[in-house]
Amino acid sequence: MRKPLLFLVAGGSASGKTTVVEEILEKAGLEDVLIIRHDDYYHDQSDYDLATRAKMNYDHPKSLDNALLLEHLNQLLNGQRVEKPLYDFVNHNRSPHTETVSPKSIIIVEGILILDPPEIRTLADMCLYVELDDDTRFIRRMLRDLHERGRTLESIIEQYQATVKPMFHKYIKPTKRHADVIIPNDRRHDKAVDLIVNKIRQYLLE
């Protein structure tokens, strides 16, 4: 098996990273793709109770186990399977279960801070940043957390004001300088998607 093509997709919380990835895959007609969520690599916090875990800062670079992700990416790029952690958003903690994943021809890692660690960026064939205005991202995040993650409106607003918004401007937004392509998600972005699709097709045809 030839070395997989690795894409990193960053952007603020609820900026539409997953939607953009799905659009790229559909346009390229790809099925042999491994998608990894950076969120699954949050540190295990079983030593803390639920109330304490709920108040922690999950938008700081140190909240993520990048050493483990780096190890797993190197293994996948070398054709090895890995036991990937899973994250439980309801309990604010790493799940006791893992997921066995095998390398595929295309590997996509998406997450708000995936462009922050330089040792992971150096592995990537292309780095993408999905951009969307703060107000729209907050509304999307609020609806997602209410309906999918069992959060209360009060906890969503408190977390957004305490960590999500300040950490976005301090740590996440600055990483777009590392992106090869910045994708504006508040309007049509066909040209950016076509550029990425063409790179994938060219690689697969070589």
- So where are the chain's domains? 5-200
Q: At what angle do helices 17-28 and 190-205 cross, to 10 degrees?
A: 50
Calculate mean pLDDT across residues 142-154: 89
Report the alpha-carbon distance of residue 77 to residue 33 in Å, rounded. 13
Cα separations (Å) of 65 from 52, 69, 169? Answer: 19, 7, 21
Task: Return the pLDDT at 1.
Answer: 64
Query: What's the token pair of residue 148?
Result: 């999918």
State what percent of residues in the chain have pLDDT above 90.
Answer: 71
Calculate the CA dihedral of residues 155, 139, 26, 85 and round it to 10 degrees. Answer: -10
Task: Return the pLDDT at 32.
Answer: 83
Report the alpha-carbon distance of residue 34 to residue 31 in Å, rounded. 9
Task: Return the pLDDT at 187.
Answer: 67
Q: Which CATH architecture has domain 5-200?
A: 3-Layer(aba) Sandwich (3.40)
pTM: 0.90
Report the alpha-carbon distance of residue 82 to residue 99 in Å, rounded. 8
The answer to whether 128 touches 12, Cβ cutoff 8 Å, is: no
Q: Cα Rg for the chain, rounded, in angstroms?
A: 17
Report the alpha-carbon distance of residue 92 to residue 118 in Å, rounded. 26
Report the alpha-carbon distance of residue 134 to residue 78 in Å, rounded. 39
Model confidence pLDDT, tens digit, residues 79-117: 999 999 999 988 989 999 999 999 999 999 999 999 999
Task: Return the pLDDT at 191.
Answer: 81
Model confidence pLDDT, tens digit, residues 64-83: 999 999 999 999 999 999 99
